[in-house]
Structures are given as C-alpha cells and as structure tokens.
Structure 1
C-alpha cells in the first residue's frame, strides 16, 4: 500500500511539473530595452498605441531608446462613437474628417503625456475600415478605394505623411517602407494577425510585406504583435491596475510564445491617464479602453509554417495550422454580440505543397447552407517581383459552388482543382497562379450573405 501511495505522489508531481514546463515553454523572453534600441509603434487607429503599448513607450524612453509612433488611419469611420461624443448625428463628409483630426490630436496629447514629442508621431491618413479591402482588391491600374463615410479616395489630412496619396495598396506599402528605411527600427510593435478588427489584421500583412521587400536593405527588427480586439475579452471590464493581463483563453493552444512586459504602479497610472485623453472614444465604451491599463502588456506571433515539398505520386500529408477559435470579425471596442456565431463554421484549415500545387483542405462544422459561405484568401509573395503585381487570389464557396477571383477580376475555376465531400473542401491551386511565390499569406473568412461573421488569423506559409 505504501508503495502505491508513493507511486501516486510521484505521478502527481510529474503531472504538475509537466504543466509547469508546458506553461513556461509558452512564454517567451521578457521584453527589455536599451539605449541602442529604435522602437517603432505601428497603430491601426488613434488610441491603439496607448491601449497596447503605453508601457512599452515609457520603458523604452527610460532606457534611452528612440521611439516613433505611426498611425495607419485617423479612425474616421467609428460613426457610433462620434454620435455619442457629439450628441448629434454625424453624416457629412466634413464632420467625419473633423473627427479624424480630433482623434489625431488625442493621440498627440496622449503621447506627449508619456514623454514623446509631436515630431515622434506620424499619421498616414488611410481610410479607417478600408485598409483590408485595399489589401485584397486595390492594386495596380485601378481606381482608388473610396471610403464609405468620408466619400474620399485619397489621403486628405494636411499633416499626413503623403498628402493626396491615392487609396491603393502601393501607397500604404510605400509609406511603411519609407518609415522603416528612415527610422531603421530594432523593435517593431504592430497589430496582431488574429485581431478581429480588419484594419488591425491588414496592418500586420502590409508590415510583413514591407519587411520582406526591405530584407536586403535594413537589419531585420524584432516583431512584437499586440492584441486589442477579441471576443469577450478583456474581462472584467474597467480599470483594474491590480490584475494581470493575459491572452484570451482561445489562444491557449495556438502555438504562440507570448512575451510579457511588467509595468510598475506609476507606469500603469500613466497609461490609464493617457487612455483617458481619448475623449471621443471613452463615452462610447467607458469601461473598455481602460481595461488595458493593468500590470503588464504582452506580445506574440504565430510561427510561420514551412511547407515540405511532397511527391505527387504519394498521398498528401497535411500540415495543420493551429489557430485560435472564436475570431468573430469586427467586434469593435468590446461591444459583445456583434457578429457572434454560436456554432463555428470553420473547423480547421490544412495546407500541403505537392509538386507545383499548393493544396488546401477546409474542414467545416456543417454542410454549406443557403446564405452561408466561406472565402479562402491566398496571396503570393515573390522577392523578385512587385507585390502589387502579384495575384491576390480569392476562392468564394457557397451553395452555388466555387468561384475564383484575382483582386476584382473573376477567373475560370478550371484554373484550379477542387473536390467536395460533405463538410470538407479540398483545393489544388497551381503555384504559377499565385505568381510562383516563396511566401504565402492566407486566411479564411465565413460570411452570411455578404456580411463577414467569422475569420481565421492571417498566417504565413514559407515555400
């Protein structure tokens, strides 16, 4: 009996140790700064730089590092927040541009409160809620994207980096590359590829493409993606400076090694005060933004998936992408219940490279239904080619079957191989159709009619 008890204790201790080792392995090295660092903060909208990286900014400055903040948009598409702030309907083009100017001023005030100067902040002025659409469709010889609320199609803010730049992918990519070349950062903090806000996901892809383009011209910086929008997170809402800040539960088995930055009490308080300076946003969701002022900040990215070349004579060996569940698209500012899918439609995504084909297997939770479909996005990157000229392949699938697009242009589905068996769709896409890529950017989106309801994270495949 004594031997059995001793064995049971050993087994329990071994299990506890295994859990500890697994949890420790999921954590990366702590984030530290020194005076040689050049820290670049990339924010999709004004306020993201404070809610995600106010602690980073403070500690980098204390270490003597240079810090630069870049806002991709002026956040001029958040109509509901503007109505709450203005206490009146906001419908005119000039009113939305005015709100964009106000949000930029809030960022300047918040950054100055943390120790930066106006010269440390760059606004690019691209369309809020439009940068993903530009990424997918607006490249090359095309009319620029037109913003839904401002009704303009080019950068119109006088203080923007490239005034009058058209709303096309080349403009955004050019501005980001110019910033990277000029500032030559050692560390880049940027939005996360699994964030449910589309501008956040788009900025991640633009930045990764810019860095691939500049690989031979600048030293590769360390990347620290941060998360802002996720379903039912962070909880509890409100200012809780005594609480730890943890990733959402659905990221637990995502393969991400999270890195943490611990904040001192005075740094948490300074972050809270900076967030409160975004007066156009606080009334709209008073307990949401301040929820990010806690004991730490955290950062992490998915590992790239290296696709093995497989012999076409043999059965495909699939490589699975670990991806968090519950990514309901565009749940803004913690407003729960928008776009929530009770039963997730996208169960899993697998990839394989066999001969001259990229193979994709989409596993759905149920058979295709009326008004419900999925779209696979596959963008190739080739270091020898202009990314703007590379195909941006989309494969929409619904009850009527499968379709094929490159940007806005419809293609013949005969260009690819595909088969469907119940809940599983298997697609074979020629690498030549993708521009003979050395990297691939991909994600899958579920939609009801034309409204997005669920998405996977953007993932990078290495060929």
Structure 2
C-alpha cells in the first residue's frame, strides 16, 4: 500500500463510501496516518428504507442519513465530512460541466493526493455513474501538475469483462472487516436487513459474501 497524504472519497449517497472503501481508508490511516475526507453529493433522501421499526419518515430521512453518515465516518476515523447539497436521484439530470466544475473546486480545496469514486458507466445506479463521470471531467479541468491520482469502483457484473481485472485489491483482514461491518450498521435506516443477512452468511462460511466485504477492488483511472 503506497503512502497517501490525504484521500478524498467522492460518492453520491451516504453508505457508498462505506461499502466501497471503508477498509481501504482504515488501512491507510492505520499504516500511514493518512488524512481522509468524505464528500457526499446527496443526503440519500430518496432512499426506500426507513428502518424496521422505522427510525425515519420521508421528511426526516435526509437528516437521519446525514447523522448515520457521520456515525459511520466516526467509526472509520474520517477526519472531515462534506455535504455537497445535491438532490438524490437527480444527478444524471445535472448539467455535466457545471457539476464537474463544482467538484473541481471541491478537489482543489481539499487538495488530496488520491481521489476515490465510482467508475463511470460501470456502477449500476444513475447517480453513481453521473458522479463518476463528473469526477473524471473535474480531474481533466485540473492541471496535471496539481491533479491527484484517481481510483475508481466498478460494481456491475460485467466490469471485469469490460475493463479487465482490478488494478488494486486490498485484503482488509478480520479486524477491519469487523469495523467495516460496524460502519455499515451505522447506516441503520438503509442497511438493517442487508447487514443481518451479510453477517449470517459470513457466520455460515459463505465465501462469496465474506469476499464481498473483505476484498476491496479499485481500477486506476488515467485522465
């Protein structure tokens, strides 16, 4: 694992950062003391789940999810959390250049050595793909001398077929797996059922489920 001075995670919804890179950023912090900033483009206010029993309703959900994200970031040791104020499930309709210009400013203000986001076109959700595409365009707007590295998450079933094997695979180990599961649990309104099923399958020895949590894969994106 190369040393990074500062990592910026740019993701559209609360919980994207946890599933995508919780173990990775915790490894960076443990091994190198890396500073970590998480920037969430939306508050996930259009999420379908409100908890069971409900911990939110449609009016309170954005505030609940912001708090859940803060709790997850605390577990992961994140140093800085930014809310960028976009509306959930509308990022694909934002003007791409305007969004990219905003994200360029965020990147320059944070001044990371590494940015992590979704791989555009291979990330399932329209908000995921729109975020990845805007980050790539934002990076193109930054002079090469000031441009951080870009690592991306591709999560479609055909990702390897489309772009080859991941360039980076981190085994986060048992201890950080437990902390990652705690961070997932922090997203209570959305993740109760997913977390319970995941933990049960891991306890039963389901190797695919364990690998989904334990191994974090990234593709290096050359801008």
Q: Distance in 2 between matches of 1:251 and 1:174?
A: 28
**Partner residue of 1:129?**
89
Q: Distance in 2 between matches of 1:99 and 1:289?
A: 24
Q: Distance in 1 between matches of 2:188 and 2:138?
A: 33
Structure 1 runs, 4 residues or longer, greater than 6 Å off? none
How much has 1:302 moved relative to structure 2?
6.9
Q: Confirm or deny: 8 A CA contact 1:82 1:280 kept in the other structure.
A: yes
Instruction: Tell me: CA distance 1:185–1:284, structure 2 relative to 1, closer, same or farther (3 Å).
Output: same
**For 1:232-267, what per-residue CA distance to the aligned partner results, in whole angstroms no more than 9, with x for missing partners?**
xxxxxxxxxxxxxxxx4x333323341101112111
Matched, 1:115 2:77: yes
Instruction: Tell me: CA distance 1:227–1:253, structure 2 relative to 1, closer, same or farther (3 Å).
Output: closer
1:69 to 32, 38, 51: 38
**Partner residue of 1:33?**
2
Matched, 1:298 2:217: yes
**For 1:322-380, what per-residue CA distance to the aligned partner results, in whole angstroms no more than 9, with x for missing partners?**
xxxxxxxxxxxxxxxxxxxxxxxxxxxxxxxxxxxxxxxxxxxxxxxxxxxxxxxxxxx
Instruction: Tell me: CA distance 1:302–1:65, structure 2 relative to 1, closer, same or farther (3 Å).
Output: closer
Q: Distance in 2 between matches of 1:213 and 1:297?
A: 28
Q: Distance in 1 between matches of 2:55 and 2:180?
A: 27
TM-score (norm 2): 0.82
Instruction: Tell me: CA distance 1:83–1:300, structure 2 relative to 1, closer, same or farther (3 Å).
Output: same
**Partner residue of 2:118?**
191
Q: What is the correspondence of 1:5-404 to structure 2 with a 5 Å cutoff?
A: 32-34=1-3, 36-62=4-30, 63-78=32-47, 80-82=48-50, 86=54, 90=57, 95=59, 98-117=60-79, 120-135=80-95, 170=98, 172-193=99-120, 194-215=122-143, 218-228=145-155, 230=156, 248=157, 250-258=158-166, 259-283=168-192, 285-286=194-195, 291=209, 294-300=213-219
Q: Distance in 1 between matches of 2:37 and 2:186?
A: 19
The gaps in structure 1 that reach 5 residues or longer are: 1-31, 137-168, 231-247, 305-463
Q: Confirm or deny: 8 A CA contact 1:256 1:301 kept in the other structure.
A: no
Instruction: Tell me: CA distance 1:208–1:289, structure 2 relative to 1, closer, same or farther (3 Å).
Output: farther
Q: What's the C-alpha RMSD, in Å, of the aligned pairs?
A: 2.6
Aligned length: 210
**Partner residue of 2:203?**
none
How much has 1:176 moved relative to structure 2?
1.4
Q: Confirm or deny: 8 A CA contact 1:254 1:302 kept in the other structure.
A: no
**Partner residue of 2:204?**
none
Q: Distance in 2 between matches of 1:124 and 1:298?
A: 26
TM-score (norm 1): 0.42
Q: Confirm or deny: 8 A CA contact 1:81 1:284 kept in the other structure.
A: no
How much has 1:83 moved relative to structure 2?
7.2
Q: Distance in 2 between matches of 1:195 and 1:201?
A: 6
